[in-house]
């Protein structure tokens, strides 16, 4: 029974004016720290893998693809240029000869604006001077602060020779950079995996005999020990099926899922990528395909004790992913991945998720590859997440229930870090 005193106190805190409600949502969304569930960032301890600055920002493969649409240059000619020369061409093409209206180009503008750098400059002199003068540890602090990011999850590949060497030195990385163990090279091309495993002294055969399975599990346990990942992850093609009679499925069933169960590790599935559709674009050459969400449903059903994070690359898969998450409470949709990370689509997906899942989802990850991308990816995402929450809260008010600032804060904390921490077992 709510006493009159309690109800009076609640009444004074209730946000009954739509303008005031929207203002409070903006304040809470813009001031609540986020854990970035999937990035390709590395701290300075990973040497050349830790990317920052304007030449790296303009070398982002999203901008590479867009530059080829407006610059008259052959792939070979572009790749023969230095990174600095390519950055100059991208700037001239997308920011001087044309208006930077694409999301990836707008992102560069947001980053330069955050540091007070001329966004209409004819060249990159001022930007290069600024970024080259930064001390990376201080710069990381500043970028995390501006972006409102408390921590990021890296993408760590135990079969990558450069990265593997760094891990084997016993790297003691910045604790804001948590590791994830990426399984693409083990699971998505068995012939390549056999070669890569042999480089680490793990010799297996094409037929995947019992001894091979045991050797790969031992190898995986050693890397889980070394990396201490918050989850294991794999990107999967648009034609991914489960069950399926192939090496990937056997490795999933006989190695990865038992390891996830034993270590209590979440498995992150990123579904719907079609790799190297245009190899001449290199990292920019991947595309999207509509995938089969029922394959993920069957994984969730078969492994009810494993928690799954899932993101699909196709816009057409988003509604079905929400429905699948309503059926399986070990499935957590996350992020508006890659080609979906555009304001118009982030808004649509976030509204759909709120309507079908309440606050039981993770609205965004940045997929940042270059440090300063955190600034724009989270600025632009927060704008759309706040907009979707405002619409939902205003509908609630119209339907007869006002909310308080504390309730907005509770919801946003759950979306920005609570769901993730619960899913990786941090709470």
CA angle 135, 147, 42 (to 5 degrees): 55
- Could you give phi then psi for residue 130, rounded to 5 degrees? -65, -55
Decide which of ligand FIX, Zn ion, none touches 338; Cβ closer than 5 to 8 Å per partner kind: ligand FIX
- Identity of the residue, 78 or 334, whose beta carbon is nearer to Zn ion in the bound complex: 334
Q: Is 281 in the site for ligand FIX (CB under 6 A)?
A: no
Q: Is 55 in the site for ligand FIX (CB under 6 A)?
A: no
Count of CB atoms situated within 10 Å of the CB of 212: 21
Q: Which residues bind Zn ion (CB under 5 A)?
A: 367
- Identity of the residue, 36 or 348, whose beta carbon is nearer to Zn ion in the bound complex: 36
Task: List all residues 6 or more positions away from 96 whose beta carbon is below 8 Å from its beta carbon.
Answer: 122
Q: How far, in Å, CA of 109 to CA of 83, rounded?
A: 20
Alpha-carbon Rg for the chain, nearest whole angstrom, is 23
- Identity of the residue, 286 or 292, whose beta carbon is nearer to ligand FIX in the bound complex: 286
- Identity of the residue, 366 or 392, whose beta carbon is nearer to Zn ion in the bound complex: 366
CB of 367 vs ligand FIX, minimal distance in Å: 4
Compute CA 414 distance to the chain's CA centroid, rounded to the nearest angstrom.
17
Decide which of Zn ion, ligand FIX, none touches 339; Cβ closer than 5 to 8 Å per partner kind: none
Binding residues among 226-245 for ligand FIX as defined by CB under 6 A: 235
Maximum Cα interatomic distance, the chain, rounded to a whole number of Å: 76
Would you state the structure tokens that stand for residue 157, as one six-digit string? 């590949």
CB of 16 vs ligand FIX, minimal distance in Å: 41
- Identity of the residue, 184 or 367, whose beta carbon is nearer to Zn ion in the bound complex: 367
Closest residue by Cα to residue 40 from 399, 368, 423, 418: 368
N- to C-terminal Cα separation, the chain: 31
Q: Please, are residues 298 and 269 in contact by the beta-carbon 8 Å criterion?
A: no
Q: How far, in Å, CA of 325 to CA of 327, rounded?
A: 5
Decide which of ligand FIX, Zn ion, none touches 369; Cβ closer than 5 to 8 Å per partner kind: ligand FIX
| Total of chain residues touching ligand FIX, rule CB under 6 A | 9
- Per CB under 6 A, the list member of 367, 372, 384, 411 interacting with ligand FIX is 367
Decide which of Zn ion, ligand FIX, none touches 382; Cβ closer than 5 to 8 Å per partner kind: none
Compute CA 210 distance to the chain's CA centroid, rounded to the nearest angstrom.
35
- Identity of the residue, 186 or 412, whose beta carbon is nearer to ligand FIX in the bound complex: 186
CB of 236 vs ligand FIX, minimal distance in Å: 9
Q: Is 270 in the site for ligand FIX (CB under 6 A)?
A: yes
Decide which of Zn ion, ligand FIX, none touches 139; Cβ closer than 5 to 8 Å per partner kind: none
- Identity of the residue, 204 or 368, whose beta carbon is nearer to ligand FIX in the bound complex: 368
Decide which of Zn ion, ligand FIX, none touches 190; Cβ closer than 5 to 8 Å per partner kind: none
- Identity of the residue, 24 or 157, whose beta carbon is nearer to ligand FIX in the bound complex: 157
Q: How far, in Å, CA of 132 to CA of 215, rounded?
A: 46
CB of 369 vs ligand FIX, minimal distance in Å: 6
Decide which of ligand FIX, Zn ion, none touches 235; Cβ closer than 5 to 8 Å per partner kind: ligand FIX
- Identity of the residue, 155 or 392, whose beta carbon is nearer to Zn ion in the bound complex: 155
402 exposure class (CB count in 10 Å sphere: 0-12, 13-18, 19+): middle
- Per CB under 6 A, the list member of 369, 377, 379, 382 interacting with ligand FIX is 369
266: helix, coil or strand? strand
Q: Is 189 in the site for ligand FIX (CB under 6 A)?
A: no
Q: Please, are residues 242 and 298 in contact by the beta-carbon 8 Å criterion?
A: yes
Binding residues among 384-403 for ligand FIX as defined by CB under 6 A: none
User: Within 47-158, where are the H helices?
Assistant: 54-58, 61-70, 75-80, 83-90, 103-114, 125-132, 136-147
Closest residue by Cα to residue 154 from 290, 48, 50: 50
Contacts of 355-358 with CB under 8 Å at 24 or more apart are 355/392, 356/319, 356/322, 356/323, 356/325, 356/326, 357/322, 357/325, 357/326, 357/333
Q: Is 338 in the site for ligand FIX (CB under 6 A)?
A: yes
Binding residues among 139-178 for ligand FIX as defined by CB under 6 A: 155
Which residues contribute to the site for ligand FIX (CB under 6 A)? 40, 155, 235, 270, 273, 283, 338, 367, 369
């Amino acid at each position: 029974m709510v006493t009159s005193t309690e109800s009076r106190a609640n009444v004074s805190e209730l946000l009954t004016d739509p303008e005031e409600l929207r203002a409070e949502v903006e304040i809470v969304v813009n001031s609540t720290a986020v854990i970035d569930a999937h990035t390709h960032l590395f701290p300075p301890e990973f040497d050349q893998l830790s990317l920052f600055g304007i030449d790296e920002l303009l070398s982002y493969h999203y901008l590479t693809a867009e530059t080829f649409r407006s610059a008259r240059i052959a792939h070979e000619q572009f790749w023969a240029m230095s990174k600095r020369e390519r950055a100059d061409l991208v700037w001239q093409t997308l920011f001087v000869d044309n208006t930077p209206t694409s999301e990836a180009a707008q992102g560069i503008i947001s980053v330069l604006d955050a540091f007070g750098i001329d966004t209409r400059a004819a060249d990159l002199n001022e930007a290069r001077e600024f970024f080259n003068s930064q001390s990376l540890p201080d710069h990381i602090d500043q970028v995390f602060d501006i972006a409102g990011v408390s921590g990021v999850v890296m993408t760590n590949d135990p079969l990558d020779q450069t990265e593997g060497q760094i891990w084997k030195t016993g790297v003691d990385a910045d604790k804001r950079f948590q590791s994830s163990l990426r399984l693409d090279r083990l699971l998505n091309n068995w012939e390549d995996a056999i070669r890569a495993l042999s480089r680490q002294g793990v010799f297996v055969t094409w037929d995947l005999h019992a001894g091979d399975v045991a050797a790969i599990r031992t190898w995986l346990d050693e890397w889980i020990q070394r990396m201490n990942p918050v989850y294991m992850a794999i990107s999967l093609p648009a034609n991914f099926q489960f069950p399926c009679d192939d090496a990937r499925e056997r490795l999933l069933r006989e190695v990865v899922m038992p390891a996830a169960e034993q270590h209590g590790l979440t498995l992150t599935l990123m579904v719907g990528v079609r790799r190297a559709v245009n190899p001449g674009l290199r990292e920019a050459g991947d595309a999207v395909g509509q995938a089969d969400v029922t394959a993920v449903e069957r994984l969730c059903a078969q492994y009810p004790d494993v928690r799954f994070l899932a993101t699909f690359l196709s816009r057409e898969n988003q509604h079905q992913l929400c429905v699948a998450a309503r059926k399986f409470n070990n499935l957590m949709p996350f992020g508006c991945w890659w080609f979906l990370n555009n304001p118009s689509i982030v808004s649509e997906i976030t509204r759909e998720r709120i309507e079908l899942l309440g606050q039981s989802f993770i609205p965004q990850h940045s997929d940042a590859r270059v440090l300063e991308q955190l600034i724009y990816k989270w600025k632009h995402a927060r704008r759309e997440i706040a907009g979707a929450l405002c619409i939902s809260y205003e509908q609630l008010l119209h339907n007869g229930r006002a909310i308080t600032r504390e309730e907005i804060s509770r919801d946003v904390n759950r979306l920005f870090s609570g769901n993730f921490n619960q899913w990786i077992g941090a709470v």
